[in-house]
Amino acid sequence: MISSLRVGRGLLANPAWAARHLGKRLCLVSEPIVHARYGRSLLKALAGLKIDAAVHLLPNGESAKTLASLRLLYASLSRAGIGRDGGIIALGGGAVTDTAGFAAATYLRGIPWISVPTTLLGQVDSGLGGKTGVNLTEGKNLVGAFHQPVSVVCDLKTLDSLPLREVISGLGEAVKYGLVFNRRFFDQMRRDWDRLLALEPSALAPVVRRCAALKLGVVAKDERETKGSRELLNFGHTVGHALEAECGYGVLRHGEAVVWGMRAALALSIMKTGLPQQDALDAGRFLASIKVPRPEVRPDRLVARMYRDKKVRGGMLRFVLLRGIGRPAVVPVTEKEARDSLEVLT
């Protein structure tokens, strides 16, 4: 399991955490824009600690998460002489941490890695939990492994340069934690929404820490998603992942797709689990107020994508729904019910 979680500003300026966990030989895996902004100065700080770091740059965005990209990363690790006494620092968004983490899980049958997510989405969700992997044309994250980072480092300073869509994407994912696990946390995010959009540290830091604590608590109980509790983290993701794949990876941000997925899940919750009217109104109005692009997709194609979801059992769709805010349940859903829920997209 993760041995340390750090949340704060300026953590990349003093990477003693790298020496503590990875030794003196490692590979910094990033992508060009992030490396230019933060990677080069991190390399200098690592050199000051007598740490020898090779560099491998992945393509931007979801194009990093391919088998072809992964093969090039393996080659870089081999050329750099990275051994089991070394490791990987993954510096970037979710695509970087997913791909670099999967490389760490499989290179030499497993080497240690540190997740340094530089997007809000990464800091509240995708950079945590040890679910690593890449995409296939058939679907998102279909090839992967469970491989926990030895440490997660969330430097809030790296969020300062994020475009608004990336901020909304991360906050959309953060809303999930409140709806699934904690009504009070959901209400707090609603009250502080404008401050969160502005990345005010006094509002943002508690949200990042709270999301991390909630996710790591679930992962500790169900690391490999075999006991059911980790499935709850997929609220909004059955429709969300289908939307990402159908629109083309990168066209719709992950958190944007999850917002639409949560709206569909709320519609199903009213039909299937008796979600109280006030909870449905509170959650529905708030999600509808989040400014995300409206995708243009065919419902039949989207439903077909849903049947490739990892939660499908015996040919039956299974959705994470709500009995109330903070009261989740995993429920079988028919094809017609899934199709009806997509009316929120029209």
Rounded to 5 degrees, what angle do the CA atoms 223, 314, 266 make? 70
310 is catalytic: no
- Reply yes or no on whether 200 is catalytic: no
How far apart, in whole angstroms, are the C-alpha atoms of residue 229 and residue 14?
36
14 is catalytic: no
Q: Are 28 and 60 in contact (CB under 8 A)?
A: no
Nearest of 138, 82, 90, 142 to residue 117 by alpha carbon: 90
Burial tier of 164 (Cβ tally within 10 Å: 0-12, 13-18, 19+) = exposed
Do 204 and 160 contact (CB within 8 A), yes or no?
no
Q: Is 237 a catalytic residue?
A: yes
Q: Which of 31, 62, 225, 244 is catalytic?
A: 225
Task: Give 5's strand partners.
Answer: 152
> Is 79 among the catalytic positions?
no
List 31, 62, 166, 173, catalytic entry: 173
Dist. CA 113–CA 111, nearest whole Å:
7
- Name residue 120's amino acid: L
Instruction: Tell me, yes or no, if 254 is annotated catalytic.
Output: yes
Query: Is 230 part of the annotated catalytic residue set?
Result: yes
Among the listed residues 234, 253, 305, 318, the single catalytic one is: 234
173 is catalytic: yes
DSSP annotation string for 205-227: HHHHHHHHHHHHHHHHH-TTS-S
Is 21 noted as a catalytic residue in this protein? Answer: no
Residues 56, 140, 176, 230: which is the catalytic one? 230
Q: Which of 35, 65, 147, 241 is catalytic?
A: 241
Q: Choose the catalytic residue: 56, 254, 272, 318.
A: 254
Query: Sheet containing 52-57: which strands, arranged edge to edge?
Result: 4-8, 151-155, 113-117, 88-92, 25-30, 52-57
φ, ψ dihedrals at 115, nearest 5°: -95, 120
Which entry of 21, 147, 215, 318 is annotated as an active-site residue? 215
The catalytic position among 131, 210, 263, 272 is 131
The first and second tokens of residue 227, run together, are 């006991």
Is 20 annotated as catalytic? Answer: no
Give 24's contacts (C-beta < 8 A, 6+ positions apart).
Answer: 50, 51, 52, 86
Please tell me which residue in 35, 176, 210, 237 is annotated as part of the active site.
Answer: 237
- Which residues are part of the catalytic machinery? 109, 131, 173, 215, 225, 230, 234, 237, 241, 254
